[in-house]
Amino acid sequence: MFYATQEFVNHLKKEELKYTLHEAEDPESGKDRVIVKFGGENISDIVIQFFFSDDSEDAGVRIFDIVKVPEMKSNKMIKVINDLNNKYRFAKFCLDTKDDTIQLEIDLIFRQHDIGAICTEAMLRALRICDDSYPELMKELWA
């Protein structure tokens, strides 16, 4: 397990939060992955995934499959995604054209101190942003 992964896992344990850990199979080219699940007010299941690289100075925070977008709605959803991206400073929404789903991304950079606290703050922000944005996404999907 990479150093940054261990620091985040230690912080999750301290906060008594449940998680799933998948260590990199090949430490030289792989990434450790930590998965944390929550329920929100607007969306019942929010799965937040952290991807840590071996240099322990960055992490990718991802929430995949927020909304499945029918092909005929893609252009209209891109406008909503752009509006959300202008609204939130540290997070970005993307339409993954491989599976026509919307995902949320936050990229973190840090030094080897306060990793647990930084990742936890990013996790809580991602959770809030995803949950707060879900009604806007669904409104356009069902329009």
What is the model's pLDDT at position 131?
96
Give this prediction's pTM.
0.90
- Separation CA 104–CA 88 (nearest Å): 11
Residue with token string 């995902």: 103
The mean predicted confidence, pLDDT, of the chain is: 91
CATH label, 3-142, candidates 3.30.70.100, 3.30.1460.70, 3.40.640.10, 3.40.50.2000: 3.30.1460.70
pLDDT at residue 95 is higher than 70 = yes
pLDDT in tens, 43-52: 999 999 999 9
> How many CA atoms are closer than 13 Å to the CA of 54, on its beta-carbon side?
7
Domain edges within the chain? 3-142
- Separation CA 67–CA 141 (nearest Å): 9
Kindly state the average pLDDT of the residues 115-132.
94
